[in-house]
Structure 1
Amino acid sequence: MAENMTIDSLKHGKVNIADDVIGVIASIAASEIGGIKGLSGTISEEVMEMMGKKNYHKGVQVEMMGNLATINLSVVMDYGTKIDETAVLVQENVKTAIESMTGVSVNAVNITVEGITTKKEV
């Protein structure tokens, strides 16, 4: 996620938006939806988080082709959540957030449900 998206059409210069920024926006937008427990990262992302490094784009992969983004999310949902309905809400919220904040068009928001929580935390 080290690529940058450049907006050239601005009057006073260029604006570069790092893929990491788009990933953070996607992560926050996904977590705003009820039923989403969190995003599921890779082993290295989990180890970095255990070491105290906050990873705001854990479980998010951004693929850019020009001004068109494809977002891949790995999520963990709460038990009892309607997976299909929740996934659609996540897709809509992520797409809207990225497009409204960055001007980048979102081609697709792909969701992989990596897990389901089995117990409510007290």
Structure 2
Amino acid sequence: MDASEVIREEQTGLGAIRIADDVVKVIAGLAAIEIKGVAGMSGGLAGGIAELLGKKNLSKGIKVEVGEKETAIDIHVIMDYGIRIPDVAANIQSSVKDAVERMTGLAVVEVNVNVQGVAFASDPKEEEHRLR
């Protein structure tokens, strides 16, 4: 593990504790995806279309900047149609901050939520027609 991957290293009486960037990304992704109104993480814009990532790729929709004791997190999400985006974004910020601070001991100074798209619920009749 090289120094660019380690976000926090703490020396204890028994040795060192190291937390990698990807650990913080996964914690943040899990906290965000649990919020009602979040359809999924976004891998960014490809050809003007937001790519919806599954639960296996939670860390890909997240960027972290880390100091010795603090971190800033950028989250890219796709939200469900019909929800109030500012409310859901505030819930994401709160959930991610709490989870990362509780699990890593890092102080979260900011959580930036980037809404990359809106997911529409598919019509069951339309799905059935496409399968024929």
TM-score after normalising by structure 2 = 0.78
Q: Is the 8 A contact 1:70 1:108 kept in 2?
A: yes
After superposition, the C-alpha distances for 1:34-91 in whole angstroms (9 at most, x for unaligned) are: 0000010145xx6xx79xxx42312100111221100000000000111001000000
**Residue equivalent to 1:104:** 106
**Residue equivalent to 2:66:** 64
Structure 1 residues without counterparts, runs of 5 or longer: none
Pick the structure with greater CA Rg.
2
Structure 2 residues without counterparts, runs of 5 or longer: 125-132
User: CA 1:67 to 1:121, structure 2 compared with 1: closer, same or farther past 3 Å?
Assistant: farther
Q: Is the 8 A contact 1:79 1:117 kept in 2?
A: yes
Number of aligned pairs? 114
State the alpha-carbon separation in 1 of the partners of residues 8 and 86 from structure 2: 34
What percentage of aligned pairs have identical amino acids? 40
More strand as a share of residues: 2
Q: Which amino acid aligns with 2:35?
A: I
**Residue equivalent to 1:20:** 22
State the alpha-carbon separation in 1 of the partners of residues 13 and 122 from structure 2: 52
State the alpha-carbon separation in 1 of the partners of residues 94 and 17 from structure 2: 25
TM-score after normalising by structure 1 = 0.84
